[in-house]
Amino acid sequence: MPKVSRETATQGGDFGPVVDRSEALAEYTVDFLTFREDVDHRPLLKGLPDDRCQCPHWGYVFQGELTFHYADHDEVYLAGDAFYAPAGHVPVHTQPGTEYLQISPSEEMSRTSETIMKNFEAMRASG
């Protein structure tokens, strides 16, 4: 049975405000995320439909707090919470020191990650 841990994940990287350690397991991507800063993902999701993440995620918050914004409400997840975030969300607040596990369908996650990285690189180049 395939498995992965934060220490054995071979993908992702240290992106300054966020450390992402990830690995593909079958048709899913497992991400171990650590936020050093409060990150509003709105600028990073520009170009996706409705400028929102179109990938569903299942996860568990080990430490800290994160907020996902939907068109009609916000969802706040705290340490100890398991969550499901359907398509159409925007992570708008992540408390510094937040650590969580996220599991996502790989194909949808790949499309989202491409847009995020393109926008991240453009923001880094301009500022």
Domain contains 19: yes
Domain that holds residue 26: 11-80+98-126
pLDDT tens digits for range 93-110: 888 999 999 999 999 988
Total domain count for the chain? 1
Q: CA dist 76 to 23, 25, 48, Å? A: 26, 27, 23
Q: Is the pTM of this model over 0.85?
A: yes
Domain contains 1: no
- In the structure, what pLDDT confidence band is assigned to residue 127 with cuts at 50, 70 and 90? low
Burial class (CB in 10 A: 0-12, 13-18, 19+), 100: buried
Q: List the beta bridge partners of residue 29.
A: 24, 104
pLDDT tens digits for range 25-77: 999 999 999 999 988 888 889 999 999 999 999 999 999 999 999 999 999 99
- In the structure, what pLDDT confidence band is assigned to residue 1 with cuts at 50, 70 and 90? low
Q: List the beta bridge partners of residue 53.
A: 89
